[in-house]
């Protein structure tokens, strides 16, 4: 009698466990659950990619410093500091906006519609 009750409860427990496991698996394969899981994986991948890019950038800066030290260049030049070869033209060297002479004959006025 106890033997039958033992096997009955063991079978019932196994059936409940298997049913719960199957139900969990079905819920995890539902379209909503798959979309949430895919979104989470995409976010995790983005974070990993960002961390990788930051590591690469830090490694590049470190290596650039090592190369500058090895070549004796010292500090890197400021990209916003213009030198003589890349300097912008000064006010005196730029042509004035009003200095352009129109080629008009004597006594003719300029008509804008003639240009178009």
Query: What are the tens digits of pLDDT across the range 91-106?
Result: 555 555 554 455 555 5
Residues 21-48, mean pLDDT to the nearest whole number: 93
- What SS3 string covers 17-37? HHHHHHHHHHHHCCHHHHHHH
Q: In the predicted model, what is the mean pLDDT of residues 77-84?
A: 56
Break the chain into its structural domains and give their ranges. Answer: 1-86
Q: Specify whether the CB–CB gap between 76 and 64 falls below 8 A.
A: yes
Query: Which range is least confidently modeled, 15-19, 75-79, 81-85?
Result: 81-85
Cα atoms in the Cβ-side hemisphere of radius 13 Å centred on 100: 3
- State phi, psi for 51 to the nearest 5 degrees: -60, -40
Task: Please tell me the predicted confidence (pLDDT) of residue 2.
Answer: 86
Residue of 9 and 103 predicted with greater confidence: 9
Rounded distance between C-alpha atoms, residue 39 and residue 49, angstroms: 15
């Amino acid at each position: 009698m106890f033997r039958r009750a033992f096997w009955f409860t063991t079978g019932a427990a196994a059936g409940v466990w298997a049913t719960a496991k199957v139900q969990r698996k079905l819920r995890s394969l539902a379209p909503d659950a798959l979309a949430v899981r895919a979104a989470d994986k995409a976010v995790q991948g983005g974070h990993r990619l960002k961390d990788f890019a930051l590591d690469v950038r830090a490694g590049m800066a470190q290596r650039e410093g090592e190369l500058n030290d090895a070549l004796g260049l010292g500090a890197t030049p400021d990209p916003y500091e213009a030198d003589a070869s890349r300097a912008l033209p000064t006010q005196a060297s730029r042509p004035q906006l009003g200095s352009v002479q129109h080629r008009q004959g004597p006594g003719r006025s300029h008509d804008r519609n003639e240009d178009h």
